[in-house]
Amino acid sequence: NREIQLLRRPVGIPSKEDFKLVSHPVAELQEGEVLVKNTWLSVDPYMRGRMMERASYIEPFALNEVLSGGAVGEVVESRNTDFPVGRKVSSMNGWREYFTSTGDDLQLLPHTEIAEQAFLSVLGMTGMTAFTGLTKIAELKEGDRVFVSAASGAVGAIVCQIAKLKGCYVAGSVGSDEKARYLLDDLGVDAVVNYKTTDDLQESIAKACPEGIDVYFENVGGAHLEAVLNLMNDHGRIAVCGMIDQYNATTPQAGPANLSQLIIKKLKVQGFIVFEHWDDYPAFVEQMTQWIEAGKITWKETVYNGIEQAPDAFIGLFKGENTGKMLVKLA
Ligand code: NDP
């Protein structure tokens, strides 16, 4: 059994040397336990925050211990009748190939035609984040003019599609022309800004949103937030989901210089953590499954292979290497 441990706390963008691959034998099963073989691992930007020693909504990762994160896998040995051999399960026991469990930390995946790794993306935490942020936090209404940053990522691409389904005008920002084409051609997004090639981010977003912005789905922070604040319409809503532009900062970051826009535009700005809304998860899965089966929501995956590539996959998130959900597939 191989697993990835955190060797030292990254400074700036993480490097492979911050992680180590460790092997050890699988423990023998006790009565009531199951052995799970992970098939897919999720790597997520929020894990960067857990690599720092600081107080947050979730405790920091310990050094020289296996990392944790979303995973799906299959029960390969069982001494627990609730979890028979062959059943697919999800857990937070990622970054490792195998683990034993009493079942308390496992969720059975439903029997469905949809590929199991979708429970790490569109039907899992990322889809739930998009849905919660847009419908509950930003209180999306039909006809809203929506702007989404990191719009081709796992959360962003689902946000764009839900907003289109709800009859909104949707624009987003991305880091490459290929990602822009994906949003325009495949997802039906109305306008896209490549924030890496524009000379003037605010002017480009203004062109993409000629009638201003009613709802901003914030994934990035920094210059994006400052530009968008100037372009918000009166009584606009901002769902603050993430600020990936700051996750690797090594010095304190300047705040937007224009927070008075909150007053001038009478804005509602709300941060959220998806796990606080987990009571809504079953209703979300029902709704999202209907949309998927009706062909109304699609998604992409960027896949790295093998546990040894998990650090590369994670680091790739900060270099824009993924379109859609970044995943690690285990043999
Ligand atoms: P993504 O799939 O969007 O991957 C990250 C993407 O962010 C990259 O592909 C890259 O795309 C973009 N990016 C990276 N660095 C920067 C930067 N400095 N400036 C602008 N864009 C950047 O990840 P997720 O969909 O999993 O997460 C999206 C956001 O949502 C993150 O901020 C994350 O922390 C947050 N989140 C929050 C949750 C909550 O409960 N609040 C739950 C889940 C996610 P590009 O090529 O376009 O630059």
Average pLDDT per consecutive 10 residues, the chain (331 residues; last block may be shorter):
98 98 95 98 98 94 98 98 97 98 97 95 98 98 98 98 98 98 98 98 98 98 98 98 97 94 98 98 97 98 98 98 98 80
Tell the residue nearest (CA) to atom 10 of ligand 1.
320
The pLDDT assigned to 243 comes to: 98
Closest Cα partner for 314 from 70, 81, 77, 73?
Answer: 70
Where are the domains positioned within the chain?
2-121+299-329, 125-275
Tell me how far the alpha carbon of residue 187 lies from the centroid of ligand 1, in angstroms. 18
pLDDT tens string 37-58: 999 999 999 999 999 999 999 9
Q: How far apart are CA 330 and CA 307, in angstroms?
A: 6
Tell me how far the alpha carbon of residue 75 lies from the centroid of ligand 1, in angstroms. 31
The pLDDT assigned to 274 comes to: 98
Q: What are phi and psi of 126, to 5 degrees?
A: -70, -45
CB atoms within 10 A of CB 119: 25
The highest-level CATH class for domain 125-275 is: alpha beta
Question: Which numbered atom of ligand 1 lies nearest the CA of 176?
Answer: 46
pLDDT tens string 161-187: 999 999 999 999 999 999 999 999 999
Tell me how far the alpha carbon of residue 241 lies from the centroid of ligand 1, in angstroms. 9
The pLDDT assigned to 18 comes to: 98
Token couple for 190: 């109305």
Whole-angstrom CA distances from 167 to 145, 188, 252 are 10, 12, 39
Question: Mind giving me the DSSP string for 62-100?
Answer: PTTSB--B-EEEEEEEES-TTS-TT-EEEESB-SBSEEE
Question: Which numbered atom of ligand 1 lies nearest the CA of 222?
Answer: 19
Question: Mind giving me the DSSP string for 259-282?
Answer: TTHHHHTT-EEEE--GGGGGGGHH
The pLDDT assigned to 180 comes to: 98
Q: How far apart are CA 118 and CA 122, in angstroms?
A: 6
CATH of domain 2-121+299-329: 3.90.180.10
The pLDDT assigned to 331 comes to: 80
Tell me how far the alpha carbon of residue 82 lies from the centroid of ligand 1, in angstroms. 36
